[in-house]
Structure 1
Amino acid sequence: MCQLLGMNCNTPTDIQFSFEGFAKRGGLTDEHGDGWGIAFFEGNAARCFIDHKPASNSPVAELIRSYPIRSTNVISHIRKATVGEVKLANCHPFVRELWGQAWVFAHNGDLKQYNPQLHGDFLPIGDTDSEQAFCEILQALKQAFGNRTSLNRPALRDIEPVVRAACSDIARHGTFNMLLSNGQALFAHCSTKLQYIIRAYPFKQAHLIDCDLQVDFGQVTTPKDRVAVIATTALTDDEVWTSFEAGSLLVFQDGQAVIKDGLPVPH
């Protein structure tokens, strides 16, 4: 199976610390060596880097580790191929345009007997079940709301039930852990395993599991900062991570969970 990493913040933040440990799982501390990718949102656009080489020794991954790109929404993925050969077209995250903004998607799992009826607006470039699922979700959104522009995009509270219904339908075919973002919010659906942590003031130190690296977030943040990190498994060994419930969909905005399974999350 693949692994996922997402970040949602209330202010543009770099993901270098989390990515340093996550990338090690791409062929060094774990077996996910069949490609990787990462996408950063900048307004309505997404800057996406993918490589069919293992993240642990990819020159592109080294660029990300040394170049602190700041974003409020980031999605990354390391792949262990189950459907589709090892090639660039099958590397996550996948990116498509809808309503004048980029949508980014990554999936962990394996879907059986899954052949969605795609009508042509969104079609896969590669041959993974993951990219088909992404196209089906976007197709469901367009069928629900039609053609929109930046001036009349549907609200997050209206988008969430459509995404949730599509995820539930797709999950009937197997394991469907996924991250999805339009740059305004980050959707996370769990079939089997996802965990998250909210980092907010007062910030503490954190130490990575996959390499001997520690950071004091209190030295690199402000009291107003808030960051949500979502991963397949916890990235640090000295913080308390929260496990998703199987079958749940959480929506993160401004560094915190705001919707869970259709209901507002109290804060």
Structure 2
Amino acid sequence: MCQLLGLNSSVPAGLGSFFDVFAERGGRTDEHKDGWGIAFHSGKRCRLYTDHRAAIDSPLAARIRHRPLRARNILAHIRKATQGRIALENSHPFARRLWGLTWCFAHNGDLKGFAPAAGRFAPRGDTDSEAAFCHLLSRLAERFPAGAPDTAVLRAALADVAAEIATHGTFNFILSNGDTLFAHCSTHLHYRIDAGRAMIATQPVDTRQGWVAFAPGELKAFGSGTLYP
């Protein structure tokens, strides 16, 4: 399956050498060679870059490694396809607009028999991941038609919908609205908080101590580089 890497920071920051380690897993040190992508997300501004090629073979990945960008939230993904073609439209992260905000999403897992009813948001590709993202946002739009609720209420609603989707299989994901980064674990997800930065990864991207494993079924929210209580 795919791998995830996320950053939530109190100030704009970059992934630095963490991105190098992560990108190497995209076809050289691991098997995730079916596309990759990264989103740099601060407030209403979101810069999204995706490629259907393996990260180790991608000129775009090479440019980002040599000229890193900074943001308060970063979501990166390397893909090992389980559902959907190897194509640009199936490369994560995906992005949509809701409540005047851009939402970015990346998924690791495999959802079997997941065929939600049509909602406000529709997939452009043919992955279970994008279908889950669109269903997640559609359910939020239905539940909160007047606009975005506060973070605690939103986190509870996301946990409800994530639990529903996870009945179809593995549903590890990271999701950003430009301020808060939400992370949900079905099987494998870790986080570390250090000096105003929260890192989230499928598997730790360095050997330093401090990485904490999520419990299966857990959804956490990170803001300004800290963990919401």
TM-score (norm 2): 0.97
2:155 pairs, out of 137, 157, 160, with 160
Q: Which has the larger radius of gyration?
A: 1
Q: After TM superposition, which residue ranges in structure 1, 4 or more long, deviate above 3 angstroms?
A: none
- 2:177 equivalent to 1:186: no
Could you tell me which residue of structure 1 aligns to residue 130 of structure 2?
131
Counterpart-to-counterpart distance in 1, 2:108 and 2:199: 16
Q: Deviations over 1:85-120 (max 9, x none)?
A: 10001000000001111100000000011101122x
Counterpart-to-counterpart distance in 2, 1:42 and 1:66: 21
Could you tell me which residue of structure 2 aligns to residue 65 of structure 1?
65
Q: Residue 80 of structure 2: SS of its match in structure 1?
A: coil
Could you tell me which residue of structure 1 aligns to residue 144 of structure 2?
145
1:229 pairs, out of 199, 204, 212, with 199
Could you tell me which residue of structure 2 aligns to residue 203 of structure 1?
none
Residue 184 of structure 1 aligns with an amino acid whose one-letter code is D
Gaps of 5+ in 2: none
Equivalent pair of 2:7/2:15 in contact (CA under 8 Å): yes
Residue 182 of structure 2 aligns with an amino acid whose one-letter code is F
How far did 1:251 drift? 0.5
How many residues are paired up? Answer: 229
What are the equivalent positions in structure 2 for 1:30-179 lying under 5 Å apart? 30-119=30-119, 121-148=120-147, 153-179=148-174
- 2:223 equivalent to 1:248: no
Q: Deviations over 1:19-56 (max 9, x none)?
A: 11100000000000000000001321210000000011
Counterpart-to-counterpart distance in 2, 1:188 and 1:65: 24
How far did 1:147 drift? 4.7
Q: Residue 152 of structure 2: SS of its match in structure 1?
A: helix
Equivalent pair of 1:16/1:64 in contact (CA under 8 Å): no
Equivalent pair of 1:191/1:246 in contact (CA under 8 Å): yes
How far did 1:140 drift? 1.0
Equivalent pair of 2:94/2:106 in contact (CA under 8 Å): yes
Equivalent pair of 2:106/2:129 in contact (CA under 8 Å): yes
Residue 245 of structure 1 aligns with an amino acid whose one-letter code is A
Equivalent pair of 2:43/2:177 in contact (CA under 8 Å): no
Counterpart-to-counterpart distance in 2, 1:185 and 1:125: 25
Counterpart-to-counterpart distance in 1, 2:54 and 2:149: 38
Residue 188 of structure 2 aligns with an amino acid whose one-letter code is K
% identity of equivalent residues? 48
Q: Deviations over 1:131-190 (max 9, x none)?
A: 000001101110011153xxxx32111211111101000000000000001011001000
TM-score (norm 1): 0.84
